Amino acid sequence: MDTQKTRTWAEISLGALRHNCRQIQRSLPAGCGLMGVVKADAYGHGAAVVAEQLRQAGAAWLAVACPEEALALRQAGESLPILVLGASDPAWAPVLAEHRVAQTVECREKGQALAAALHPGQRLQVHIKLDTGMGRLGFPWEGAGLEQALEVLRLPALEPVGVFTHFAVSDEPETGREYTQEQFRRFRAAVSELEQRWGNRFPQRHCANSGGVLFYRQEGYTLDLVRPGLLTYGVYPGRERGGLDLRPVMSLRSRVAAVTHHRKGDTVSYGRIWTAQRDTTLAVLPVGYADGLHRCLSGRLEVLIRGRRFPQVGRICMDMCMVDVTGCPDLAPGEVATIFGRDGEAEISAAELAEKAGTIPYEILCAVSPRVPRICSE
């Protein structure tokens, strides 16, 4: 991998990705498939590359957020079944049917509109979404909600191939267990009633996201498919590991652009929020908030250089940031700096940056901008 001319890059370990898939699949009961969640460009990792690896690892389905993401995968040659998880404009129906992409249906009106938009002779595969407590998209899990879902199931232009719900707090095992159990109870009850009244069985039933896989897979929550998103990329949604040994797939690295020297009392970067308390040597890194390094991390994060931690100082700029490398006097431009990832025995995780930024690891990964090249390695 030649990154000599690359200012900043995201290193994608395909070996770690395959390892994670194997770990997750081995933890599942026989007959349960893996739906690889590759929305948001596979959480910033590169959807086409990740989808290919997931297919080779035996994934049964892929999931995206919108039709554009699904069509990009088809144009890249991806053949696995794809589910659009989000709500889509009915005008997409003929295109989705043509490209064998399944669409989530979350309400009666949307189901009717999708069916009406299809060309004569077309059928669109759909997954029915039930709202069991997330409060976002989905047919209400009881009463009138099920009556409306049945109307959609009986539309001849639609081919129902799945039913699912989404857990709200499955990644919080200590505080969210009771609510997650209630959501699962509601889902099973709703699916049972729908199948009985419809007279058919859904081929695919799924509800376990990353938290569901981590903490509820041994309680029967896996059903026909699981949808681990963050776990696939080797990042845990919390501190608990749930018995899975996963490896981070992405590392974010940059190269020292310049080494500068400052006297005690000098200020650095916008707003002059940092003042040198001693004579100081700084490394200027060509990575900033336009690359995905959140400005709110200014003065809060450390980076790895030569396997050692060095503090970032001053305001993070659009394209650059500064790091105090006073303890490394022979540092020269061109040396590699790791924003998150492993360097020798040292490691900075996306979860660590997320905690310092007051957010979640999902946002750290997805924030890595398109101008940062993804470079795959084994």
Q: Which sequence positions are flagged as catalytic?
A: 39, 270
Within 209-319, strands assigned E span 225-226, 250-255, 258-262, 267-268, 274-275, 280-285, 302-305, 308-313
Residue in 368, 331, 373 with CA at minimum distance from that of residue 350: 368
Query: How many whole angstroms separate alpha carbon 1 and alpha carbon 326?
Result: 30
User: What CA dihedral angle connects 241, 247, 249 and 251, to 10 degrees?
Assistant: 100
What are 162's two structure tokens?
A: 């799945």
142 contacts 165 by C-beta, under 8 angstroms: no
DSSP 8-class letter at 287: -
Residue 191 to residues 127, 145, 227: CA-CA distances in angstroms? 12, 12, 18
Query: How many whole angstroms separate alpha carbon 305 and alpha carbon 282?
Result: 12
| SS percent in the chain: helix, strand, coil, step 5 | 35, 25, 40
DSSP 8-class letter at 285: E
The count of C-alpha atoms lying within 13 angstroms of the C-alpha of 57, restricted to the half-sphere facing its C-beta, is: 27
Query: How many whole angstroms separate alpha carbon 265 and alpha carbon 91?
Result: 62
What stretch of H or E contains 112? helix 108-117
